[in-house]
């Protein structure tokens, strides 16, 4: 699969999650703390601090979840994907402080997110560009790996 296909696949995966959440198919727990818990090493504290900031900063969709833009409006799509890409980049830089599986996931997620952002910029942040693309199970699994690690190692629910 080409990088461009992966980027578009990632967009579809996020779009599908956003649509499911906005339709009420999933719910979020607003009582969940977005603060990092005490970690066992100083190195992982940096990773967990950025992860907690990412979760707190990532724009919320209409259902309050972090998976997807608040709406399909171009400004909401741009805000969500620029923020997500920025934090994936920061986490990728700190990935040596995480498990090898998380480092591998971030080594795929961040470049895919950068490419996706380029595709969205080219379409003036038209959310519907994802409709014609299939999801990439590898990137979906990578995102799940990252979010699971953040929850278990950092005590932050993404």
Encode pLDDT of 115-154 as tens digits. Answer: 888 988 999 998 876 544 447 889 889 999 999 999 999 9
Residue 12 has pLDDT above 60, yes or no: no
- Indicate the pTM of the whole model: 0.71
Residue in this structure with the two tokens 């599908």, named with its chain if needed? 16
Name the CA radius of gyration of the chain, rounded.
15
For 99, list phi and psi in degrees, rounded to 5.
-75, 160
What gap in Å lies between CA 15 and CA 72, rounded to an integer?
Answer: 9
Q: How far is CA 9 from the centre of its chain?
A: 13
DSSP state of 128: G
Roughly what angle, to the nearest 10 degrees, separates helices 100-122 and 137-154?
120
What gap in Å lies between CA 23 and CA 73, rounded to an integer?
Answer: 16
Domain ranges of the chain: 3-23+41-154
Encode pLDDT of 88-120 as tens digits. Answer: 999 999 999 999 999 999 999 999 989 888 988
Encode pLDDT of 20-34 as tens digits. Answer: 333 333 334 444 443
pLDDT confidence tier of residue 64, bands split at 50, 70 and 90:
low
Q: Which of 9-13, 62-66, 67-71, 113-117 has the highest mean pLDDT?
A: 113-117
């Amino acid at each position: 699969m080409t990088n461009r296909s992966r980027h578009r696949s990632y967009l579809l995966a996020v779009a599908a999650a956003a649509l499911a959440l906005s339709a009420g198919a999933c719910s979020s727990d607003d009582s969940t703390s977005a603060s990092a818990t005490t970690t066992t090493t100083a190195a992982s504290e940096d990773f967990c601090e950025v992860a907690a900031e990412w979760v707190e900063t990532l724009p919320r969709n209409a259902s309050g979840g972090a998976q997807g833009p608040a709406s399909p409006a171009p400004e909401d799509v741009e805000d969500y994907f620029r923020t997500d890409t920025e934090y994936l980049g920061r986490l990728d830089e700190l990935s040596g402080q995480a498990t090898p599986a998380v480092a591998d996931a971030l080594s795929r997620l961040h470049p895919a997110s950068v490419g996706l952002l380029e595709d969205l910029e080219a379409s003036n942040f038209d959310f519907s560009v994802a409709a014609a693309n299939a999801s990439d199970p590898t990137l979906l699994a990578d995102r799940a790996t990252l979010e699971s690690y953040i929850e278990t190692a950092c005590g932050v629910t993404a």
